[in-house]
Amino acid sequence: MLMQPVSVQAQLLLGVTIIIAMLVLWTFFSSISIARQLFIAFGSFVVMRYVYWRATSTLPPLSDPIGFGFGFTLLMAELYCFLILAISLIVNADPLKRPPMPVDPDNELPTVDVFVPSYNEDEYILATTIAAAKSMDYPPDKLTVWLLDDGGTDQKCNDSNPEKAVAALARRLSLQKLCSELGAQYLTRAKNEHAKAGNMNNGLKHSNGEVIVVFDADHAPFREFLRETIGHFKRDPKLFLVQTPHVFLNPDPIERNLQTWERMPSENEMFYSVTQRGLDKWNGSFFCGSAALLRRAALETTGGFSGITITEDCETAFELHAKGWTSVFVDKPLIAGLQPETFSSFIGQRSRWCQGMFQILMLKNPSLKLGLNFIQRIAYLSSMTFWFFPLPRLIFMFAPLIYIFFDTKIFVSNVDEAIAYTSTYIVVNMLLQNFLYGRVRWPWISELYEYVQGVYLSKAIFSVVLSPRKPTFNVTAKGLSLDKDHLSELAWPYFAIYALLMFGGCVAFYRYMFEPGVTNLMLIVGLWNTFNLIIAGAALGVVSERRAVDRHPRLGIERSAALSANGRVVPVIVINVSTGGCGIRPVEGALPGDITKGRLHIVPLGNRVTDESLPVVLRHAQSPETNYYGFEFDGITNREYNALADLMYGEASALQRFLDHRRSHKNLFAGTFQMLIWGVTEPIRAFSLLIRGKTAQSIVDAPKETSTAEQKVDKTVDATLDPLQTITQRLRQEKADAAAAAAASGIPEPRSA
């Protein structure tokens, strides 16, 4: 039936009938499990009919080598999309939803080492994560938290640049003090070898817990993290990994600049809420670098964390799956992290992911890896080949211009065939995506994300292909400050592409209206170019950075507390909190007018590490009707971060409520209308910034808000600067003396610092 030749009218009738059948299944039978499979089957039939017709009937003839070359390139891009769709339907046909694990008694729980790898993060970020990790609900004698500091290594403390050496030594001393006061272990190493993987392998050598938990420096766990996850290891002796979702407190640049944070699911939610559950069904869920638990015994079979590529997480899971170990994905938000604030840091992060996945594909091809079963090969190939998307996305963006400007046919079809095959294929494709991912991904958002990344990631792909071992690990900048609206320093290609597409649209309109002999095919191609123009217009809004109102992202909570000031104690409810402050509402009446500074005492949810309260100072009070007061934390000491962790990360249900609030289904019509609005309005905002010269350079000299914790670090550095310089000079002199002695005796100089 897929290859049966039929008339154009019959094909159109077939496509429309199947679309109606899919809508009926979705509307009236979605609660029946078989309906999901029928929906996917009907949609797949139309998609495969289109692919067969496209491959056999639409290529330009070989007598037109230019047209055939461009047409074949476009066909390859479409076949790639078909491959990714097919794999995603296999993986996500029936995503697994695991029931909660029963809570085991304390005497049966394994020992746990928590690794917090660090490089250059602000100290207040590290303090928050360490305190949250120490505050997890787990027997204290079985829980050890390690700060693995790669910013204070011997190599960095002996840097040839005296300023860098002094800064590294200051960091080491300051973080040692932080860990001592929070009850964590500080660990650094001699050299920064093999990046994050090498850092964690050094942690393995110095620890002995049965289970290793990994949190990125800016990923703080909620209190119940271990209770919700650790039980899986007891029930499966071959389990090497329990992965949980990455959830963020701040918007990425696309969400912030398009102002969708409060109403649209984040980009990563489709991966964690659908795809990882789909992979979990096939024992293919993989390590994502953070918010995960790993069995030490499994890591020892591969010599620790794999570090050949710059994506040590997926590579480690890949090796352990190949050795017969199993994995689990727990679909519950149990950590809160930070995303890149600027568009340039966002692109840098995605470039690293893209290059790392291509490294694994080229150096450790899943299709050839011994030990993986068939569906695991498919799962890993899907995760790696996904990163080819920049190439087809850019091909789709520029393909219509070839016909508009040069009259080169790269797609041989008449208007009737385009409607019968192509339009029904597009509708069915969007129905499949909206049916499977509608609660966690708005229509056309994938196209926007792929385009804005594709402009720069295409270069990253070619660099890996040319030299698979060349890419190096770069830490993603977090906690940056955006003080003004401005254009990203990476914005110029998006303006150039938008101008080219706009010009192409004008040419298509002129040729269709006034040039003799131009057929309705120009109308179809012009509509295609118009769609690209809308996506490119929305992308201009993405690279037009908006000022960040809150430097410290807030989480909505509801916790009982007491505010003590001027000899009085006022019962209050804390309704939101960040690392910089909190919002409170008095239980009764308003706060007395003379309370501008005091201490906040939190009613704990369980056993707290320490009993400190939080120093607060009033920053603003809203109208009497709202009875809301905004307080800033006033010089938190290291030990007081325990109280902040209890307040901010005491209940993961607060994060789940926020996610549920955003996960409302967006139908195709509403999603298309939203993209049209962005495509029209965002270029106006972008060009206004361009005319006013509001580029990234204009904020270089802008004063950056300095947090209390940062001020404390600065004072520590100033106070220790002179003695550290003396230490640096002494270390260098000792090293020089040792080298001279070694040279005199003929013994090689030792390599360790």
Amino acid at 745: S
In this structure, the number of other CB atoms found within 10 A of the CB of residue 115 comes to: 28
- Is residue 258 helix, strand or coil? coil
Active-site choice (113, 149, 150, 216): 150
The CA radius of gyration of the chain, in Å to the nearest whole number, is 29
Q: How far apart are CA 301 and CA 410, in angstroms?
A: 52
- Look at residue 45 and give its three-state secondary structure: helix
Q: Are 126 and 151 in contact (CB under 8 A)?
A: no
Q: Which residues pair with 69 in a beta bridge?
A: none
Say how far residue 459 (Cα) sits from the centre of its chain: 20
Whole-number Å distance between alpha carbons of 574 and 583: 6
CB neighbour list of residue 27: distance below 8 Å, 6 or more residues apart:
none
Tell me the β-bridge partners of 113.
144, 212
C-alpha–C-alpha distance, residues 287 and 317, integer Å: 6
Q: Do 636 and 711 contact (CB within 8 A), yes or no?
A: no
Containing H/E element for 729?
Answer: helix 708-745
DSSP letter assigned to residue 103 = P
Cα-to-chain-centroid distance, residue 719: 38
Dihedral of alpha carbons 443, 448, 451, 456, sign: negative
Task: Please classify residue 465 by burial: count the beta carbons closer than 10 Å to its beta carbon, then call 0-12 exposed, 13-18 middle and 19+ buried.
Answer: exposed
- Are 197 and 360 a contacting pair, CB within 8 Å? no
| Residues 6+ positions from 385 with CB-CB distance below 8 Å | 80, 83, 84, 87, 361
The 8-class DSSP code of residue 583 comes to E
d(CA 23, CA 29): 10
**Cα 281 from Cα 393, distance rounded (Å):** 30
- Tell me whether residue 104 is one of the annotated catalytic residues: no
Q: Nearest Cα to 581, choosing from 703, 714, 709, 716?
A: 709
Say how far apart CA 148 and CA 125 lie, in whole Å: 14
Round to whole Å and give the CA distance between 482 and 552: 12
Burial tier of 605 (Cβ tally within 10 Å: 0-12, 13-18, 19+): middle
Rounded Cα distance between 621 and 630, Å, is: 6
699 backbone dihedrals φ, ψ, rounded to 5°: -110, 5
Return d(Cα 270, Cα 666) in angstroms, integer.
Answer: 14
> Could you tell me how far CA 295 lies from the centroid of its own chain?
24
Pick from 359, 346, 286: nearest CA to 322: 286
The bridge status of strand 143-149 relative to strand 185-187 is parallel
The position carrying tokens 């299944």 is 25
Distance CA(717)–CA(189), nearest Å, equals 21
d(CA 104, CA 232): 10
Q: In the annotation, is 313 catalytic?
A: yes
Alpha carbon distance 435, 667 (integer Å)? 9
Active-site entry in 216, 252, 313, 646: 313
Alpha helices of 415-491 — where are they, by DSSP H? 415-417, 424-437, 445-466
- Measured between alpha carbons, how far is 4 from 16 in angstroms, rounded to an integer? 17
Joined together, the tokens standing for residue 710 give 């940062």
Rounded Cα distance, 172 and 478, in Å: 20
Using alpha carbons, select from 302, 321, 301 the residue that is nearest to residue 239. Answer: 321
- Give catalytic residue positions: 150, 313
